[in-house]
Structure 1
């Protein structure tokens, strides 16, 4: 379970590896940034070596925690389960969509009614916001498509180089915003992304064909 409290060294008890919300958020940010930089290997795999040399060192340094690869695998298992709950909803009916502005799943009332009859315990899906959905989509989509189970970052950059480059890029992004110019950087930063229009850019996101899951 996640907690909003400051990170503290975690004790492993009965195979349970607790993560704070801050730790989980930073993990997702590091994975998304790395994946969008094209750091997966030629097979689309996210390997143990790259997680241990590029992701966990930054996570542990910034939040003063002591996460290991075993902690990482445990957290990724939970995140994958969470992501599947979202994709199951989208597959239930072609009437479901995703609103990137409100971060909510959308559907006509009759579609929600049909879904909630089949999933009475998921009534929160109709009104809750899901800030992590788009990040989880980036993290799991490619790996799922290739049938991979290893979630890491590929490439040759070190954790220190990634951290320094990340800080430099953030400063450049601020300068571009102040000068009113567009950045040509290919790096995508979910926390700083802005929609091209302030209008409600609703669109329907459907996954798969009109298969129904009860």
Structure 2
């Protein structure tokens, strides 16, 4: 592909509406199975199939695989923010309105310090349940991270030649 072709592809931003997003989420859920979903991403075959199905359903739109992937990343980021809010004390989820729910006194301090969270004040997120089925337990959140000091400490070193105490030797 020529350099000009690459520039055109990156400069053409997709015009996403709610129907497009809902269909993408539907396809992601449908492709959430072994063979099409790898460890934490979808296979190339799955992305190509999703792009083909988008072109079939939305004839007036021509979404590329790259644009679908970018929208999936955006939805994942939004899911992470909504999920983080939902997990905070004082917050809940309204399944009827499909939005994060909390009293004003709980929202007030959060909105002053967190721009991403402020965005979800009185705003629905209709894809939460489907995205939760895709991402819950699959997103790295740093809860098991270890800094370089951990590995530099001799107490944390595991001797590789010693047998495991939980596995019986023959």
TM range (shorter): 0.5 to 0.7
- What whole-Å deviation, never above 9, does each CA across 1:62-119 have from its counterpart, x for those lacking one? 111332222222222222222232133234x222111111212112333222322323
> 1:105/1:146 Cα in 2 relative to 1: closer, same or farther (>3 Å)?
closer
Deviations 1:125-174 (A, max 9, x none): 33222212223323333542699xxxxxxxxxxxxxxxxxxxxxxxxxxx
Separation in structure 1 between the aligned mates of residue 125 and residue 78 of structure 2, nearest angstrom: 10
Q: How many angstroms apart in 2 are the aligned matches of 1:50 and 1:73?
A: 11
Counterpart for residue 125 of structure 1:
120
- Maintained 8 Å contact 2:25/2:130: yes
**1:52 Cα deviation (Å)?**
1.0
Relative contact order higher in (CA < 8 Å, ≥ 6 apart): 1
The RMSD of aligned alpha carbons is 3.3
Q: Secondary structure at the match of 1:126?
A: coil
Contact 1:19 1:75 in 2 (8 A): no
Unaligned ranges ≥5, structure 1: 1-10, 148-207, 209-214
> Partners of 1:41 and 1:132 in 2: how far apart?
19
Query: Larger radius of gyration, structure 1 or 2?
Result: 2
Query: What's 1:138 paired with?
Result: 133
Query: Contact 2:31/2:37 (CA < 8 Å) preserved in 1?
Result: no
The reply to whether residue 46 of structure 1 matches residue 42 of structure 2 is yes
Deviating beyond 6 angstroms after TM superposition, the runs of 4 or more aligned structure 1 residues are none
Tell me the TM-score normalized by structure 2.
0.61
In structure 2, C-alpha distance between the alignment counterparts of 1:129 and 1:90, rounded to whole Å: 13
How many residues were matched structurally? 135
Alignment gaps of 5+ in structure 2: 1-6, 144-170
TM-score of the superposed pair, with normalisation by structure 1: 0.51
